[in-house]
C-alpha cells in the first residue's frame, strides 16, 4: 500500500466523519461462518474512547468529502474551502480488515459526501460493503443511506449492512429550509420508509423461510443536530418520538452543534457546544424508551424546555409531588422506575430483594440507590422518613445543596472564588 | 461441635470446588479456605490440605448449576477476581444457596450475596475491557500477538470471544502479570506458559520481531484516533474514566502519552 497517501486520506476523511455521533456496534447477530473473519454478536464493544470521551467502536470515515450540496451546518459543504480526498473501494476494505484483525474496531461506519448524484454515491457505498462480505468479513457494517437514494439501492444496502441510517440533522422542517435549501424533507424520509418496510417484510418472510437473507439486522437510526436553529427541546423530542414510532428507529442521536462555519444563520464560530442540553435530551430519550414515560409528561406547552439544573425525571417528579411518596416495598415496577435516583438496575435489585425481607435505608444504600435524590420520594421499612410536607422548590434546593454535577459551573448563579 | 479447620487447596478453581465438597461432606466448621501459596495458620484451628479431585469438583459445579445458572457463573467470575478471602466468602455463598428452595442468589439485601454479585460484576467488566483493549501486533512469524495486564485473571473468560471472532488467524494473548497466555493455532485454543524476556508494549523504538507493515498500521490507527476527536468538546476526565491510565501502555493509540 502507498502508506503516505493512505495516511493523508485517512486524516482528511476521518476528520470529516467525526460529527456523526452514532458509533453503536450492538444489536446485530452475524456469526462467524466457515472460519471467516469476525462476528458481531448482540453486544457492542467500545475499543477506545476519544479525548472528548466518545466511544470509538467503528472505523468511521467518509468515502469522499467532495459534495454537491451546500448545507450550512456541514463541514464538507461545497462552498467550504477545505482539502478534498476520496478513497478507492479496495483501500477502505484493506483498512477495515487490517484494523479489525488487530482488534482496533468492531467494523466500519461508512458515510460519504454526495458526488454526481445520490444513487451514484449510494452504489459506491454498497460496493464497499459487498466487497467486505465477499472477503468473508462478518464484522459490523453501518452504512449511511444517502438522502434521495432509490428504493432498489436501499434494498441492496440492507443485504450487506448491519445498520442503515439517514441523518435528519435539522429537527424542524422550517429549519431545514433555512439551512439546507437543496434538500427536501422527503429525501430523508423516503429511504427510511423503504428500510422500515423491508425490515417488516424480512421479519414476516423469515417466519416461513428460515434461510431468508439477513436484512440490516441492527435496524436503522438517525441523528439530529441541536442548537443550530432555535428549536425548543419539545420540538426535538416530539420529532424524535415521531421517528421512533413511525420508522421504528433503533436509536435517535442528538448532536450538540459544533460551529464549523461563519454563517449568519448559525451560532458563530467559537460559541460553546451545548453539551449539557445534549445530555438532558439523552436522559429524556432514555426515560421515553426504558422508563415508561410519555413525551408529553416531560415536555409540553407549559414546559417546552428541559430544566438545566436538575435531570428530567427529577423535574417531572417535582411537578407531580401528589404521586409521592412511594412505598418501595409494595409499589410495582413501573412506579418504582419513576422515582428520581432509581435506575433500572436498582429497580431490578429491589424487586428481587424485597421477596426475602422488607427493605430499609441501609439495604437501599448498599444496593446503590442515589438516596440523596430518592429519599424525598419514597418510604421504606424504617421509622425515619421525610415527614415534613416539603414544597417542590424546597426539595430542589436541598438536593442541589447536597450534590454536585459536572455541568454545575455552566449555569450556577454563584460566583466562583477561583477561576 | 465439629472441629474448626482451615482448608488448604492448590489455588485452582477445581481445587476450590473440591474444598467446598469436602467441607460439606465432612461437615467441617470452615474457618478459612486458603490457596497453598499464601497460607496462614490460625491460632486455634488446625489445617487440612485438600487434594484436587475433578469428579468431586464437578459435583459441586453441577449441584450449584442445577439451582441457578447465574449463581454458578457468579461463583466462577468472583473466584477469578483473586481477591483476598474470596474463597471463604464464596463458601458462605454456597452455604446460603444450597438449603433454600427460592432464588436465593437474587436476594440483594443479603450482604454476602450482594458482595459476590458485585465482585462477579467487576470481573465481568474487566473481561469486557480486555475484549476491547487487546491490541494485536503482527509478528514476522504471522502470529497476532498481544500483551495484557488485567486486574483480574480474565484470560479463561475471553478465550471464547477471540476464538469466535478471529477464527482465520493465529493469535496469542499473553498475561504479563500472571505469566501465561492463550494461543490459537487455527484449530483450538490452548494455555501456554512462557517467560517472555521482552514485553512488547508501546515503545517508540521498533522491535524487529514485527513487520514494518505492522508499524504502518499502528501509525494509521494512532492518526485515526487523533482525527476522530472533536477539539471543542474535549473532556479528559471522561476519557480517563473510560480508558483508565493503567491500560495505556498497551494501547497503540496512546503511544505518545504512555
Query: pLDDT tens digits for A318-347?
Result: 999 999 999 999 999 999 999 999 999 999
For residue A268, the model assigns a pLDDT of 84
Sign of CA dihedral A202, A203, A208, A213: positive
Given a contact cutoff of 8 angstroms between Cβ atoms, the answer to whether B56 and B17 are in contact is yes
Tell how strand B137-138 and strand B46-49 pair up.
unpaired
Q: Where are the beta strands (DSSP E) in A68-145?
A: 107-111, 140-144
Instruction: Say which of B135, B168, B220 has its CB closest to residue A36.
Output: B168
Query: What is A30-80 written as a DSSP string?
Result: BPP-TT-B--B-SS----EE-TTS-EE-EEEEESB---S---TT-TT-TTS
Spatial separation of the C-alpha atoms in residues A146 and A247, rounded to whole Å? 16
Q: Give residue A65's Cα distance to chain centre.
A: 23
Q: A269: which 3 cell numbers?
A: 464560530
Q: Which of A21-30, A297-306, A355-364, B142-151 has the lowest mean pLDDT?
A: A21-30
Shortest alpha-carbon distance between residue B124 and chain A (Å): 13
Taking an 8 Å cut-off on Cβ atoms, the answer to whether A14 and B243 are in contact is: no
- The neighbour count for residue A240, using CB atoms within 10 Å, is 25
Whether residues A39 and B107 touch (CB distance < 8 A) is answered with no
* CB-CB neighbours of A75 under 10 Å: 18
Give the HSE-up count for residue A165: Cα atoms under 13 Å, Cβ half-sphere. Answer: 27
Band of the pLDDT at A412, cuts 50, 70, 90?
Answer: low
**How far is residue B120's CA from residue B115's CA, in Å, rounded to a whole number?**
9
Q: How far is B255 from chain A (nearest CA, A)?
A: 13
pLDDT at B99: 85
For residue range B162-218, list pLDDT tens digits in order. 999 999 999 999 999 999 999 999 999 999 988 776 666 666 667 778 888 899 999
The 10s digit of each residue's pLDDT in A227-283 is 888 899 999 999 999 999 999 999 999 999 988 888 888 888 878 888 899 999 999
State residue B204's pLDDT score.
61
Task: Give the CA count within 13 Å in the CB-facing half-sphere of B4.
Answer: 7
Which three cell numbers, joined as nine digits, stand for B131? 475484549
Q: In terms of Cα–Cα distance, which of B99, B81, B102, B100 is closest to B90?
A: B81
How many residues appear in chain B? 258
The mean pLDDT of B100-124, rounded to a whole number, is 92
Peptide bond into A325 cis (omega under 30): yes
Chain segment A103-150, per-residue pLDDT in tens? 999 999 999 999 889 999 999 999 999 999 999 999 999 999 999 899
A120-139 b/e with 16+ CB inside 10 Å = b? ebbbbbbbbbbbbbeebbbb
CA distance B68 to A162: 34
Q: What are the cell numbers at A202?
A: 424480512
Contact A356 B110 (CB under 8 A): yes
| Chain A: closest CA distance from residue B47 (Å) | 35
Instruction: List chain B residues with CB under 8 Å of A14.
Output: 223-224, 227-228
Distance (Å, rounded) from C-alpha A243 to C-alpha A248?
A: 7
Question: Is the per-residue pLDDT at A409 higher than 70?
Answer: no
Q: Mark yes or no for CB contact A7/B134 under 8 Å.
A: no
On chain B, the residues whose CB falls within 8 A of the CB of A1 are: 216
| 3-state DSSP assignment of residue A110 | strand
Beta-strand ranges (E) seen in A192-325 are 220-226, 251-256
Predicted local confidence at residue A107, as pLDDT: 95
Query: Which of the 8 DSSP states describes residue A184?
Result: -
pLDDT tens per residue, range A14-39: 998 988 888 888 888 888 888 889 88
Contacts of B104 (CB under 8 A, 6+ apart): A356, B96, B97, B110, B113
Residue of higher predicted confidence among B102 and B168: B168
Q: Under an 8 A CB cutoff, do B111 and A366 touch?
A: yes
Neighbours of B152 (CB within 10 A): 23
Contacts of B109 in chain A (CB under 8 A): 353-354, 356-357, 359, 363, 366-367
d(C-alpha A3, C-alpha B221), whole Å:
12
Q: What is the mean pLDDT of chain B?
A: 90
**pLDDT more than 90, % of chain B:** 71
**Grid cell locating A341:** 435516583
Q: Which residues of A touch B223 (CB under 8 A)?
A: 7, 10-11, 14
Which three three-digit cell numbers place residue A236? 426535538
- Indicate whether B227 pLDDT > 60: yes
Joined together, the cell numbers standing for residue A233 give: 427541546
Of A17, A53, A359, the CB nearest to B109: A359
**Strand B137-138 relative to strand B144-148, pairing:** antiparallel
Question: How many CA atoms does the CB half-sphere of B52 hold within 13 Å?
Answer: 11
Instruction: Work out the number of other CB atoms within 10 angstroms of the CB of residue A206.
Output: 14
pLDDT digits (tens, 9 = 90+) for A172-231: 888 888 888 888 888 888 999 999 999 999 989 988 888 888 899 999 999 999 988 889
Instruction: Give Cβ neighbours of residue A360 (< 8 Å, ≥ 6 apart).
Output: A380, A381, A382
Phi and psi, residue A58, nearest 5°: -125, 155
- Give the separation between CA B248 and CA B188, rounded to whole angstroms: 30
Return phi, psi of residue A78, to 5°: -65, -25
Contact A136 B168 (CB under 8 A): yes
- The angle subtended at Cα B171 by Cα B166 and Cα B177, nearest 5°, is 120
Q: Is the dihedral of CA A31, A32, A33, A36 positive or negative?
A: positive
In terms of residues, how long is chain A?
A: 419
Question: pLDDT class for B41, splitting at 50, 70, 90?
Answer: low
Which neighbouring-strand residues pair with A143?
Answer: A110, A164
Instruction: Provide ipTM, 2 decimals.
Output: 0.92
Asked if residues B150 and B134 have their Cβ atoms less than 8 Å apart, the reply is no
B138, B16, B23: which is closest to B76 by C-alpha? B16
Amino acid at each position: 500500500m502507498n502508506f503516505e497517501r493512505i495516511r493523508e486520506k485517512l486524516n482528511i476523511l476521518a476528520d470529516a466523519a467525526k460529527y456523526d455521533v452514532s458509533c453503536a456496534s450492538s444489536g446485530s447477530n452475524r456469526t462467524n461462518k466457515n472460519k471467516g473473519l469476525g462476528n458481531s454478536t448482540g453486544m457492542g464493544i467500545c475499543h477506545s474512547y476519544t479525548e472528548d470521551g466518545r466511544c470509538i467502536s467503528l472505523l468511521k470515515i467518509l468515502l469522499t468529502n467532495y459534495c454537491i450540496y451546500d448545507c450550512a451546518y456541514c463541514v464538507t459543504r461545497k462552498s467550504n474551502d477545505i482539502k478534498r480526498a476520496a478513497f478507492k473501494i479496495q483501500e477502505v476494505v484493506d483498512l477495515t480488515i487490517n484494523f479489525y484483525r488487530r482488534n482496533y474496531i468492531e467494523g466500519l461506519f461508512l458515510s460519504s459526501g454526495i458526488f454526481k448524484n445520490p444513487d451514484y454515491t449510494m452504489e459506491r457505498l454498497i460496493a464497499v460493503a459487498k466487497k467486505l462480505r465477499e472477503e468473508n468479513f462478518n464484522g459490523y457494517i453501518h452504512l449511511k443511506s444517502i438522502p434521495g437514494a432509490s428504493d432498489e439501492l436501499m434494498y441492496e444496502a440492507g443485504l450487506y449492512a448491519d445498520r442503515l441510517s439517514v441523518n435528519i440533522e435539522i429537527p424542524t422542517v422550517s429549519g431545514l429550509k433555512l439551512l439546507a435549501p437543496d434538500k427536501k424533507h422527503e429525501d430523508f424520509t423516503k429511504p427510511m420508509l423503504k428500510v422500515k418496510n423491508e425490515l417488516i417484510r424480512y421479519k414476516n418472510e423469515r417466519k416461513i423461510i428460515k434461510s431468508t437473507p439477513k436484512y440490516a439486522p441492527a435496524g436503522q437510526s438517525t441523528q439530529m443536530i441541536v442548537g443550530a436553529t432555535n428549536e425548543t427541546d419539545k420540538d426535538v423530542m416530539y420529532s424524535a418520538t415521531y421517528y421512533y414510532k413511525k420508522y421504528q428507529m433503533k436509536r435517535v442521536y442528538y448532536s450538540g452543534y459544533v460551529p464549523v462555519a461563519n454563517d449568519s444563520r448559525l451560532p458563530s464560530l467559537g460559541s460553546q457546544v451545548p453539551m449539557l442540553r445534549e445530555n438532558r435530551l439523552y436522559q429524556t430519550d432514555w426515560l421515553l424508551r426504558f422508563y415508561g414515560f410519555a413525551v408529553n409528561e416531560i415536555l409540553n406547552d407549559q414546559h417546552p424546555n428541559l430544566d438545566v439544573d436538575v435531570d428530567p425525571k427529577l423535574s417531572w417528579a417535582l411537578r407531580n409531588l401528589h404521586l409521592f411518596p412511594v412505598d418501595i416495598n409494595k409499589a410495582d415496577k413501573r412506579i418504582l422506575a419513576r422515582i428520581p435516583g432509581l435506575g433500572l438496575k436498582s429497580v431490578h435489585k429491589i424487586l428481587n430483594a424485597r421477596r426475602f425481607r422488607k427493605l430499609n435505608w441501609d439495604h437501599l444504600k448498599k444496593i446503590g440507590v442515589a438516596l440523596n435524590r430518592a429519599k424525598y420520594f419514597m418510604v421504606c421499612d424504617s421509622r425515619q422518613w421525610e415527614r415534613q410536607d416539603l414544597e417542590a422548590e424546597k426539595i430542589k434546593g436541598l438536593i442541589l445543596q447536597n450534590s454536585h454535577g459536572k455541568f454545575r459551573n455552566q449555569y450556577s448563579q454563584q460566583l466562583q472564588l477561583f477561576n | 461441635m465439629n472441629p474448626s479447620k482451615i482448608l488448604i487447596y492448590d489455588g485452582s478453581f477445581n481445587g476450590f470446588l473440591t474444598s467446598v465438597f469436602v467441607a460439606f461432606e465432612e461437615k467441617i466448621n470452615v474457618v478459612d479456605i486458603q490457596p497453598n501459596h499464601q497460607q496462614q495458620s490460625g491460632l486455634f484451628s488446625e489445617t487440612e490440605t485438600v487434594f484436587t479431585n475433578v469428579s468431586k469438583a464437578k459435583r459441586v459445579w453441577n449441584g450449584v448449576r442445577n439451582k441457578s445458572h447465574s449463581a454458578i457463573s457468579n461463583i466462577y467470575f468472583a473466584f477469578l477476581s483473586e481477591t483476598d478471602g474470596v474463597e471463604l466468602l464464596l463458601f458462605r455463598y454456597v452455604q446460603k444457596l444450597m438449603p433454600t428452595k427460592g432464588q436465593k442468589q437474587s436476594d440483594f439485601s443479603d450482604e454476602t450475596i450482594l458482595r459476590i454479585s458485585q465482585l462477579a460484576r467487576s470481573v465481568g467488566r474487566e473481561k469486557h475491557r480486555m475484549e476491547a483493549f487487546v491490541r494485536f501486533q503482527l509478528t514476522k512469524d504471522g502470529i497476532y500477538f498481544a500483551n495484557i495486564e488485567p486486574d483480574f485473571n480474565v484470560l479463561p473468560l475471553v478465550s471464547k470471544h477471540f476464538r469466535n471472532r478471529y477464527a482465520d488467524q493465529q493469535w496469542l494473548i499473553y498475561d504479563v502479570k500472571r505469566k501465561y497466555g492463550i494461543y490459537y493455532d487455527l484449530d483450538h485454543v490452548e494455555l501456554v506458559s512462557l517467560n517472555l524476556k521482552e514485553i512488547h508494549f508501546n515503545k517508540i523504538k521498533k522491535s524487529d520481531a514485527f513487520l514494518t507493515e505492522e508499524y504502518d498500521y499502528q501509525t494509521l490507527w494512532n492518526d485515526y484516533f487523533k482525527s476522530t476527536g472533536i477539539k471543542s468538546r474535549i473532556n479528559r476526565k471522561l476519557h480517563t474514566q473510560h480508558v483508565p491510565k493503567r491500560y495505556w501502555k498497551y494501547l497503540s493509540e496512546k503511544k505518545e502519552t504512555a
